Amino acid sequence: MEAAIENRKSYSVAHIFNICFTLFLMFMFGRVVPSFAGITDVGMNVLGVFLGVIYGYSTCEIAWPSLFAFIAYGVSGYTSVGGAISEIMGQSIVYQSVVAFLCAGAITHYGFGKWFVRWSLTKRIFQGKPLFYIWCFYVVFGIACIVINQTQLMILLFAIWIDIADTCGYTNDKKFVYTGMVGILLSTMLGGGMIPYTSWRLGLAQNWAEVVGEELNMGFMFAMTLCITLIGCTMYVWAMDKVFKVDFSRMKAFDVDKLGEESRVLRPRAKRIMLIYGITIFLVVLGNTLPSGMWFRNFVNKTITVAGMYGICAALLMIMPSGEGDAKPCLVFKDVHRKAINWNSIFMCGVCVTLAGAITDGELGISNMLIDIFTPVFAGRSGWFVMVFTIIVSMILTNLGSNIAFGAALIPIVGPFVVATGMNSQLAGAALIYMINIGMILPAASSPAAIFHAHEALPDAGLRTKYTIYACLMSIVAAILVFSVFYIFVG
C-alpha cells in the first residue's frame, strides 16, 4: 500500500497550464481581448474557440477539448449549444468518416493489409528497393485519388501502412511510422487536387472562371499538377532517406514468410469486401463524371450523396454472406468497430470543419480582415509575383482554416490582379485551386488533416507538425518550380 502511494503521480505544472489556457481561449478570449481590424464581438468569441481547440489538440488530447468546444461554440453568440451539437455532429464528413472507418477497418481486419504487403514486396521490381517501393506506393495511390475519394483511400492506406510497419518490425520506429503516414497524407492531397472536376474544387474553378472571364482548362491544369505531384512525392521520399534518416534496412531485408501462410491468399470475405467497396467507388466516380443534369448524377451527388453511398456500402457488407461457410456476414460489426472506428478522429473532424467554416463567415469580420491585409500586396506587381505569392498565401491560409472558405475568399482578391497584369489566367487559377487543397499542418486545415492528427498511431503532436511542415515546404518548392517553368512559355 505504501509503495502504491509512493508511485502515485499527479499532473505536471505544464499540463495544468495547458488545460487552463485551452479553456481560457475557448471561453474568455473573445470576452477579454478587444475586437480589432473589423472583427465583431461574436467573431472574437468564435476565433477564441478555434484557437482553444487547436491549442488543446496540440498540447493535451482530443476528447475533452472537443466536448468543451461543443459548449464554447454554443455560448459564443454565433449559435446555441443545441445548434452547435447539431452543426458539429451533423457534418456529413462525420457520418462519412464513421462508415469509411468501418469499411477500411474491415478490409484490414480480414487480412487485406498483410496480403497486400506480401503481394507487393514479393514483386521482383521492388525486391531490395524499399525507396522505389515507397515512391511507387505514393505516386500510384496519389494519382488514384483523381477517381477515388481522397479521404476514404487515405484511411485505407493508413491501415495498410500500419500493417507494413508491424510486419516489418517498425512498430516502435516513430520515424518510419510518422514519415510514412505524412507521405500518404501528402500524396493523396497532391493527387486529389490535380483535376478540379468534382466537389468544392469544381465550385472554386467555376468561381475563378466568373472572375477572370475564362474557363479553367482542366487538361492543362492536369499537365502542370501531375508534374508537381511527381516532383513532390520524389522530394519527400528523398527527404525520408537523406533528411529524416529513416532506417529502411528492415524493410529491405524483410522475409515475407514471417507473415504466415494465411497471407498468401486473399480470403473470400476480404475479396467480397473489396468488390463492394470497388463498386461503390465506381458509382461515386460515375455520378461525378456524367454530364450535368443527368438523373444518375443528381441522384448520387444531391440525393444520396457520397456519404450516403459509403453508408450503403457498409450496410451491404453487414448483410452479405462472407463466403467462408461461417453463416456470418462479410463485415461483423462487433468484431470490427472497436478497432476500426477512431472516435478521436470523428470528434476532431466535426469540430474542426465546423469552426474553420465559421471563422471565415464574412459577417464575423475575420475573412474581411484578411482581404484588407492581402489586397494591397498585389498592387503594381508582375504576373509572376502574383502567381508565386498566390502559391505561398494559399498554402499558408489553407493550413490555418477551411480550404473551401479561404479559397473562395482569395479568388476575388487574386483574379482582378491577374487580369490587370495580362498574365495567363490558367496559371494563377490552377495554382490557387491546387495549393488550397494541401492543408495538413493543423487539424483544422482540412478533413483529411483532422483524421490524420487524431490517428491513434500518431500521438506525438510535435513530430506530426514537424513532418507536415516539411511536406508543405516541399510542395511549395515543387509548385513554384513547375508553375514558373510554365510561366516562361505561356505566361
Our CA angle for 356, 46, 466, nearest 5°, is 50
Query: In DSSP terms, which residues pair with 366 in a beta bridge?
Result: none
Q: Which pLDDT belongs to residue 258?
A: 60
- Which among 43-47, 92-96, 292-296, 361-365 has the top mean pLDDT? 43-47
DSSP, res 319: T
DSSP, res 35: P
Q: Are 352 and 446 in contact (CB under 8 A)?
A: no
Distances (CA, A) of 274 to 112, 332, 335, 414: 9, 15, 18, 43
Phi, psi dihedrals of residue 79, rounded to the nearest 5°: -155, -175
Q: Are 102 and 331 in contact (CB under 8 A)?
A: yes
Phi, psi dihedrals of residue 329, rounded to the nearest 5°: -75, 170
pLDDT grade, residue 199 (50/70/90)?
low
Furthest CA-CA distance within the chain? 80
What whole-number distance in Å separates Cα of residue 330 and Cα of residue 143? Answer: 29
Q: Which pLDDT belongs to residue 306?
A: 74
The answer, yes or no, to whether residue 117 has pLDDT greater than 80, is no
pLDDT tens digits along 372-424? 776 777 667 788 888 898 899 889 888 876 666 677 767 777 887 788 888 88
List helix spans (H) across 110-173. 112-121, 130-144, 150-167
What whole-number distance in Å separates Cα of residue 233 and Cα of residue 142? Answer: 9
Q: Which pLDDT belongs to residue 261?
A: 66
Cell of 265: 491468399
pLDDT tens digits along 201-252? 776 787 788 788 887 887 888 899 999 999 999 999 999 999 999 988 887 7
| 329 Cβ contact list (under 8 Å, min separation 6) | 317, 318, 319, 320, 321, 322
Cell of 188: 493523396
Query: In DSSP terms, which residues pair with 471 in a beta bridge?
Result: none
Q: Which pLDDT belongs to residue 278?
A: 79
387 torsion bin: left (phi>0), alpha (psi -120 to 50), beta (else)? alpha
Judged by average pLDDT, the poorest of 1-10, 356-365, 455-464, 466-475 is 1-10
The mean per-residue pLDDT over the stretch 330-348 comes to: 74
Question: What's the whole-model pTM score?
Answer: 0.68
Query: In DSSP terms, which residues pair with 321 in a beta bridge?
Result: 329
Query: In DSSP terms, which residues pair with 329 in a beta bridge?
Result: 321
- Which among 95-104, 157-166, 181-190, 399-408 has the top mean pLDDT? 181-190
What whole-number distance in Å separates Cα of residue 432 and Cα of residue 390? Answer: 6
pLDDT tens digits along 61-78? 778 888 899 899 999 988
The answer, yes or no, to whether residue 97 has pLDDT greater than 80, is no
For 135, the enclosing helix (H) or strand (E) is helix 130-144
